[in-house]
Amino acid sequence: MKIIIIGGVAGGATTAARIRRSDEKAEIILLEKGKYISYANCGLPYYIGGVIKEREKLFVQTPEAFSTRFRVDVRTENEVIFIDRKRKTVTVRQSSEDTYEESYDKLLISTGASPVRPPYRELI
């Protein structure tokens, strides 16, 4: 079973670790468009406020440590730009701007969300 996970923070990394615990043989590929995975968003206000002094403390796992611990193929700076559901492939853009295709049996999308901003109306 080849599983591709898009997004490597809370949802994506947690799912990758969970899959590995229940399936020793699965091929798991974690695609993250940023440089980091599994970082503590929740710690950011504490870092800005000086409670957490060292930036490194925000990183729960490095890509290397996560990859070794859970046998997951972690690919940072790899952004999924297209999903072909019929062919079960994703198109991935690397930081070099090169693109490649990767096939999957199962796809998990954990790309986060943005807040809905109601339209601003000036109050008179």
Between 8 and 63, CB nearer to ligand FAD: 8
Q: Torsion angle, CA of 52/14/66/76, rounded to 10 degrees?
A: -90
Residue nearest to ligand FAD (CB): 112
Give min distance, CB of 96 to ligand FAD, in A.
15
Do residues 60 and 17 lie in contact, with contact meaning Cβ atoms separated by under 8 Å? Answer: no
> Of 42, 51, 116, 123, which residue is the catalytic one?
42
- Between 48 and 123, CB nearer to ligand FAD: 48
Minimum CB distance to ligand FAD smaller for 51 or for 123:
51
Which residue ranges make up the site for ligand FAD (CB under 6 A)? 6-12, 31-34, 41-42, 44-45, 79-80, 110-112
Active site residue 4: no
Q: How far is the CB of 12 from ligand FAD (least distance, A)?
A: 5
Could you give the residue numbers annotated as active site?
A: 42
